Amino acid sequence: MPRDINARLEKLRIRRKGVDAVNSGWVTEGFAQDILQKSIIQEAWQRRAAAQPYTRYALGAMQAVDPAYTQKSIDEAERVAKQMRDGLSVSIETRLQGSVPLDIHIKGVSDVDLLVLLTGFHTYFTHGALALAGHYTNPTSETSLSALISLRRECEELLKRRYWGATVDCNGGKSIALSGGSFERPVDVVPSHWSDTIAYQSSLAENDRGVKILNKTVPETIDNLPFTHIKRVHDRDAAFYGSLKKAIRLVKSVKNDADYEETAAMLPSFDIASLMYHADETAMKAGFVNELYILKEAQRFFDWCWGNKSEASKLMTPDGSRAILNNEDKWTGLLTISTELDDLARQVAREQGLYTSSPTWNDVYSTLGNARVPTAN
């Protein structure tokens, strides 16, 4: 993370306002002008803690992106979804997955994942209640792999025809990446089909239903539970009075602005969300009254994970599918982000009145816990 706090604040502003998309060169001139005009409008966080830049950064990094920017990402995905529904020869339905539907993205111009789900083909777990009751009565010799390869091929052909003026990147293993041309947000199209899990066969709740996606570079199919993840993170955020999503955005921003950004990137954003899901409930709820409690808990929890590897290694993703910290690269990324959080917590504590030359973590925690930062006028 840049030690120059003004550089850090500028990166945060640019990212939240979408100016980084202008700098990337893929947006049209008209869209670029629109972004730049809107970027001069201050957000509420920019008017808080006027003489405390580290505090202002921490508070700003927690906030949701402007809802109008988020809605634009959703609208772009829906535009593509309509083309898929109208243009494919097979019946499909579409859903969003990832950080945008959870509202934990940190970019104003954020890419969005669009699942394109075959409706005429799905798999199921044979030990589920519906399977045991004989619900699935139309077997087919087609496999998930062949069905998804066929769907992927047709999606690629359709998107190239419909968006000939844009970049349609078909090289990705799991998704087709759309950008440029008429697109005001990048859209990743993910061919997939439903997978009826044991939990879904009992509840019939979509959040329990799994999906299979294709990795065409192997090729292979991959099982995912995106809607279980979304619901569990959303429900825990509600239980924590909105502090969980703030914590996730904060840590993702710190990762993005790290001095050693490549090393920090070794811990994926999905795993950051999964880790913060396990943060202390009492501390997170306290963040409803004092948002600096969220910084305090994020720093403490990342430090705890590094110092207690045996226990932290047992932490599971919210959907229960795997351990979060399941390879060495992720531990390297965690350490880098943890160090950045250490620095930010100390700097914010100093701004909030901690003048001890060699403060302990108890000193830092006490200062952050007792701080009160007025809201913006």
Residue at token pair 């825990």 = 236
pLDDT of res. 179? 93
Cis bond before residue 191 (omega within 30° of 0):
no
pLDDT of res. 3? 65
Task: Please give the structure tokens belonging to residue 348.
Answer: 């914010």
Angle subtended at Cα 143 by Cα 114 and Cα 130, rounded to the nearest 5 degrees: 80
CA atoms within 13 A on the CB side of 121: 21
- Is pLDDT of 58 > 90? yes
323: how many CB neighbours lie within 10 A of its CB?
15
Residue ranges matching CATH 3.30.460.10 in the chain: 68-226
**Residues 6+ away with beta carbon under 8 Å from 290:** 369, 371, 372
pLDDT of res. 22? 81
The second-level CATH assignment, the architecture, of 68-226 is: 2-Layer Sandwich (3.30)
Backbone angles phi, psi at 2, to 5 degrees: -60, 130
Task: Please give the structure tokens belonging to residue 48.
Answer: 């808080």
Give CA–CA dist 55/36, Å, rounded: 26
pLDDT per position as a tens digit, 129-143: 999 999 998 777 899
Specify the pTM: 0.95
13-22, 53-62, 261-270, 324-333: lowest mean pLDDT where?
13-22
Residue of 285, 272, 292, 296 whose CA lies nearest to 239: 285
- Comparison of pLDDT for 175 and 180, the residue scoring more: 175
Cis bond before residue 219 (omega within 30° of 0):
yes
For residue 1, name the pLDDT band (cuts at 50, 70, 90): very low
- DSSP 3-state assignment of 209? coil
Q: Are 304 and 325 in contact (CB under 8 A)?
A: no
Backbone angles phi, psi at 125, to 5 degrees: -85, 125
pLDDT per position as a tens digit, 315-354: 999 999 999 999 999 999 999 999 999 999 999 999 999 9
